[in-house]
Amino acid sequence: MTHRTGEKRVRSIAAALRPATLRACESYSRHACKGRTGVSDFKPDLRQVVADIAADMAQRTDRGAVASYIPELAKVPLDQFAIAVTTADGEMICAGDFETAFSIQSISKVFTLTLALGQLGDNLWNRVGREPSGNAFNSIVQLEYEKGKPRNPFINAGAIAVTDVLLSGHQPREALGSILRFIRFVADDEDVAIDENVARSEKETGFLNTALANYMRAFKVLEHPVDHALGVYFHHCAITMTARQLAMAGRYIAFGGKIPTTGRSVVTSERARRIAALMLTCGHYDGSGDFAFRVGLPGKSGVGGGILAVAPGKASIAVWSPGLCSARDERSRRAPPLQKRKGRPIGRPFFKNWLPGPDSNQRPTG
C-alpha cells in the first residue's frame, strides 16, 4: 500500500537518473550476459563494450537537467559522462570523464549501511526496515504511517537513522572521520574527500530532511541530537569520488565481501549478499523495480548522477552523468526487451553460483 496524500511525488533518483547513465548500465549488462562464464572469458570484449558505451553517450543530446534543489549541484556542467569497470583480477577499464570527481550523494548510504551492520549486526533492523518503499525517497507521509521507523536504509529517513547509529559513542567529527576512512580504504585511495560547499548547500536547503529527523526523534528512532545526525548525514552525502574510485569501492560487495586482489575481508560473504540484495530491491527508491527489470544488477543511485552497480563475482561498475530527467519522463519510455540466453532473463549469468538454485539445499537465514 502506498500513501501519497497531500504530497507531490518527488523525483525518483533511479528512474530520474539521466538516460545516459541508465542506458550505460543496460548496455553493459546486455553485452556481459552473452555467454561469459569466467573472468578470463569475460574481459576480452569488455574494453570494446566500455568504449562503445562512451562513444554512444558522446553523441547523445538528451542530457536532462541537474538537481537544482541542491544549489551546488546545479553548477555541474551537463556534458560529462564516465564509466569504470573493475574485475576480479584487478583490471580497471574506464572511459569518458572517469577522473572527474563528482558528488556521490546517496551512494554513500551503501557504505554507512556496511558500517552500521558491523556495529549492530542484525539488531540494526529493529530501527530500520528492509522493504522497498514504493514512495519518494524523502516521503514524510510514509514515515508517519510507519510510526517513525524508516522502510529501508536507503531512503533518506533510513539513511539518517543509520547515521545516528554511527554516532553511538562518537562525536560527529569522529563518526564522519570513520565513514571517510572506510570509503578511502575500500577505494584504496586517500584522495577521496568531502566537498564542504555541497555539504553546506544541503544543510541550507534540507528542510524535508530536518522534518524527517525530528519526526524520528519524536519516536525515539534517533538517539542523538538531530543536528548531529543531520550534520554527519549531509557531509557523507557530499563525499566526492571519481568513477574509477567508486568502482574500486564497490569491489567488496561484488566479490563476496573481500577485496579480490588482496583477499582481505571487509565483510562476510553473507553480509555482502544481503547488502547487494537491498541494493537490488531498494537502491533506486520507487524506481528500483524498473531498474531491476531493465538492468538486472544490484545498484545504488545518487542525485549527483552516479550509479554504483555490482555484477556478483564478475565486476564492480560505476557510471556517472550529472543530468537527471523526471520520473514521469523516464517511465514513459518503453522499457527495452529483456535479452535472454537459454531462457534466462538478463542478469541471470551474473547470479549463477551466487544465489541458491532450485535444487539447492541452502535456505535463507535471518
What string of DSSP letters covers 292-335? HHHT-S-EEE-TTSEEEEEETTTEEEEEE---B--HHHHHHSPP
**What's the pLDDT score for residue 336?**
44
More confident: 26 or 165? 165
**What's the pLDDT score for residue 298?**
97
pLDDT in tens, 186-219: 999 999 999 999 999 999 999 999 999 999 999 9
The amino acid sitting at 290 is D
Distance of CA 125 to the CA centre of its chain: 19
pLDDT in tens, 296-353: 999 999 999 999 999 999 999 999 999 886 544 444 443 444 343 333 333 333 333 3
Domain extents in the chain: 13-331+340-351
Residue 280 Rama label (left phi>0; alpha psi -120 to 50; beta): alpha
Mean pLDDT of 342-365: 35
Residue 342 Rama label (left phi>0; alpha psi -120 to 50; beta): left
Under the banding of pLDDT at 50, 70 and 90, the label for residue 295 is very high
pLDDT in tens, 38-53: 444 445 588 999 999 9
Cell matching residue 253: 560487495
pLDDT at 222 over 70: yes
**What's the pLDDT score for residue 60?**
86
**What's the pLDDT score for residue 29?**
55
Under the banding of pLDDT at 50, 70 and 90, the label for residue 65 is confident
**What's the pLDDT score for residue 353?**
35
**Exposure class string for 26-58: b at 16+ Cβ within 10 A, else e:** bbbbbbbbeebeebeebbeebeebbeebbeebe
Q: What's the rounded Cα separation, in Å, for the pair 36 and 314?
A: 10
**What's the pLDDT score for residue 24?**
59
Q: At what angle do helices 108-120 and 156-166 cross, to 10 degrees?
A: 50
Share of the chain above pLDDT 90, in %: 69
Q: Which residues are catalytic?
A: 106, 109, 233, 285, 303
Q: What is the homologous superfamily of the domain 13-331+340-351 according to CATH? A: DD-peptidase/beta-lactamase superfamily (3.40.710.10)
pLDDT in tens, 103-160: 999 999 999 999 999 999 999 999 999 999 888 888 899 899 999 999 999 999 999 9
